Structures are given as structure tokens and as C-alpha cells.
Amino acid sequence: MKKLRIFAVMLLLATLLVGCSGGDETIESGNFKLLSSFDKASFDMFYGGGLYEQSHADDEVTYVNSSELVAPADWEGYLKLLDSEKPDVIAISSLFDYYKLVSSGLLLDMNSLTRKEKLDLNAIQPSVLSLLKYPGEPNELYGLSPFFDPSALYYNKSMFDKYGIPLPKDGMTWGDMLQLASRFPNKADDGRQIYGYHHREFSTPGYYLDYFSSIEGLSLFEGNRLTLDKAEWRPLLERLIQAFSTQSMSFAANDGEVRMGDTEANGETPFLEGRVAMFSAPAALMEKLDQNNAPFEWGVVSQTVSLDHRKSWPYYPSPIYAIYRDARNTDAAWRYVHYMNETPTLKLLSKSVPQLSSHTDVGTERYGRSLQPFYETKVVPPSMAALETPSLIPPFFLSQTLNPIINREVAAALDGQKSLEEILQSIQQEGQAAFDLVLFEAE
């Protein structure tokens, strides 16, 4: 009789549990939903998403492309999409979106999961890990990223040897680099134009100023005002004008020349042709140098840093895999995130993905060259204050309005028509007036 009562109680409990589970909450163990800003084909192409399905044939992954449902800048719409779709995994392409989701409390802390699975966080490049842990508490981790895309400083060893100039070193400041570049002549023996330094397709004064100020951690804008009247800008612009005056940097007088494909300001071409001594680029350039059988000896050192040696050009991990706070299948979500970030998977993906693995033990060289310079640069996390403040800068204001002003004023300084103080004052006043106008029109 006692056994019958026990059996009846167990049967009742089982019935109650089945009734409480609800149709919508019943998730098959291998079924989960992944939200990304890519369609399925693009996601597989760029991030190797199909690898998981090949190795987990019993799992069923439902892909949701957020870009088809909400506009990229529609944050409120994105939050509503999360609430309605309730994805298990979110593949986040932007570090800033990741920070927003963390700050909103919408992601699951993975620390307990990484400890349970004994995932070796020490294998992750330190700067990448610090970016992922910020802005949470020190012992919190809300996302993992398999890739990042840092740059390093490539150099033409043959050019350095020919002119008897010391080779670049790891850890140089951008000021050191410009000084080294100034030691090269601006014409080769055959009359071709050569440069000590070239900055991809962005070779106008405005773009150079924006690039080096970013390394210094300076911002052209604070709220609704320009900042070029601050003392920090004077030595920066002075160094650039000096470099332009010696013709040691590739130079395009205005943005129109860049858009028209000016060969002196055209991406990687001048460096690949052997006419540039130093060139900043990601690791993907190694493949082009190898495939094109570069007609010169070359090497790589770490990216240049700020004048105080404390900061560098920012780079960000992408994609960042996170688990949604209201995920219906946390186990399957973690299984996916863990798989896409473990060393064996990254070794497979590194054969086809041009970005570098965030795990330092996955690959130490490409085409017989060490990848160490790309892993050495430290990155300072971006300002949360700037992140939380809505941007007032209209799209294309920098490239179409402010940069032409900077380019014109720098040209006036190079021609001896204006002093450094005069061009700084002109850029500040005319740039501020233009900024005020577009803000007024936006209101």
C-alpha cells in the first residue's frame, strides 16, 4: 500500500512538471537560435559558422538576421527585436554594441561556464580579454571573441639598407616613425617618387591628423564644440607639417584626388611597388606580399604608439559571441560559444579567415614571418562616457566639411602664407561655424 502511495505521488509530480513546462518553453536539447547582423551565407563565409553544424549534426541552429528587421542605428528597435525573438546566442559585430548590451544587463555572465569547462582565458591576447571584460566588474565576462584585426608597421628593408638608415624597432612612437621617415630622399635614382611613410588611401592632411590624434587619445569634438583651440593640438600639427614639408609622407592635397584614384594615395599600391619605406597594415597584407613575390626584402615591427608610449591605435575584436540574458537554451548556447572559441576550432578557421586569432597559441607565423608584432600592442578601452553620450557629429561631416578646411589650411602653411597659430585658429573658427550650422539644421 505504501509503495502505491509513493508511486501515486511520483506520478502526480511528473504530471505537474509537464504541465508547468509550457509549449513555448520546451526546447530540444540541441536546438537554439542565433542572432547576427549577417545572413546565413555571409556569416558562414566571414566567421565560419558552418563549422559548428558540420561537427554537431544533431543540433538545429535557427539564424536570425537583425539587419533585415531593424536599421543598424535603431537601438530601441534592436532591443524590441531581442525581446520578441529571444535568441540564445548573439553574434555582436561592434564592441560598442557589446558594451551597450552589457550596460543594459542583457547578457549572461560566462565566468561560471568558463570555469566549469576549464576554458583557458590566459590563452587570449591580454588586450582583447581586457576589452571583453570592460565595462563589467573585474570578475565578470559577458562575451568571447575568436578574432581581432590589429595592424603593425611593415617596412621595406631593401630601402633602409640602400640609404643606410637604421631599421624600425618595436614600440616606436609615431613621432619616432616620422623622424625616421624624414631621412629618406623623395626621389629614387630612376626619378620615381618615394616616401618614408604612406598611410593607405587616406593621405590627406585631415586624415593624417585624425589618425595620429586617435593614437594620442585626442578627439576633434567634445559635445557641440571643436577642440583644436586646445594646446595639445599644436605639437601634433607641427610634426605633421614638418613631415609634409620634407615630402617624407605620401601626400594628397585634397579628398578629390583620393576618390579619383591618385596613385600616390592609393591603398597598398605604393608599398607593394617598393616605393614606400614604412606602411601600416593588418596581417592580411602578408598574403599579398607573398603572392606578388615582392621585389624587395621586408619585415614587420609592432604598431607605433603615442608620444608618451601609453596608447596606440585602437583595434577591436569581432565578432563577439554572447548569451542572451533570457536565452531559452543556455546549455546549447554555451556549447556553441565554447566551440567557436576553443583552440582546435580557431586553428581550422585561421586557415581561411584573414583576421588574427585572439588566442596567442593558435598560430605564431604566416609565410615564414612571426606574428608577434601584431600581438604586442596594448589597447586602452574606449571611454564609456563617450559611449553613453549620443554622437552629435553628422555623417560625413568630418570627410566632406572639416577635412577640406584642414587640407586648405595646411597647404597655406606649407606655402608659407600662414603660421601654425593662424591655421589652428582658422580651422577652429571656420570648423566650429560649420559644425554649429549643421547642428542647427539637424534641430
Q: What is the pLDDT of residues 304-330, one digit of tens each?
A: 999 988 888 878 899 999 999 999 999
The phi-psi region of residue 141 (left if phi > 0; otherwise alpha if psi is between -120 and 50; otherwise beta) is beta
Position 386 scores a pLDDT of 56
CA distance 59 to 147: 24
> Does residue 348 have a pLDDT over 70?
yes
Cβ-proximal residues to 199 (8 Å cutoff; 6+ apart), any chain: 207, 208, 211, 249, 250, 280
Task: Please report which confidence band the pLDDT of residue 50 belongs to, taking 50, 70 and 90 as the band edges.
Answer: confident
Asked whether the CA dihedral 70, 100, 90, 17 is positive or negative, the reply is negative
Task: Please report which confidence band the pLDDT of residue 259 belongs to, taking 50, 70 and 90 as the band edges.
Answer: very low
Q: In 3D, which of 277, 288, 37, 318 has the Cα closest to residue 157?
A: 277
Residues in the chain: 443
Position 253 scores a pLDDT of 57
**DSSP code at position 220:** S
Asked if residue 94 lies in contact with residue 387, where contact means CB atoms within 8 angstroms, the answer is: no
Position 256 scores a pLDDT of 44
Region 281-299: what's the mean pLDDT? Answer: 90
CA distance 327 to 330: 6
User: Among residues of the chain, what percentage have pLDDT more than 90?
Assistant: 50
168-188 CB burial, b ≥16 within 10 A, e <16: bebbbbbbebbbbbbebeeee
Region 289-297: what's the mean pLDDT? Answer: 88
Average model confidence (pLDDT) for the chain? 84
- State the pTM of this model: 0.84
pLDDT in tens, 160-209: 999 999 999 999 999 999 999 999 998 999 999 899 998 876 678 888 99
211-245 CB burial, b ≥16 within 10 A, e <16: bbbbbbbbebbeeeebbbeeeebeebbebbbebbe
Region 398-419: what's the mean pLDDT? Answer: 93
Region 75-93: what's the mean pLDDT? Answer: 95
Position 311 scores a pLDDT of 85
In this structure, of 113-122, 232-241, 289-298, 386-395, the range with the lowest mean pLDDT score is 386-395
Helix or strand run (H / E) with residue 381:
none
Highest mean pLDDT out of 16-20, 146-150, 156-160, 208-212: 156-160
User: Among residues of the chain, what percentage have pLDDT more than 70?
Assistant: 87
> Does residue 6 have a pLDDT over 50?
no
> What structural domains does the chain harbor?
28-149+316-369 (3.40.190.10), 151-313+392-442 (3.40.190.10)
> Does residue 103 have a pLDDT over 60?
yes
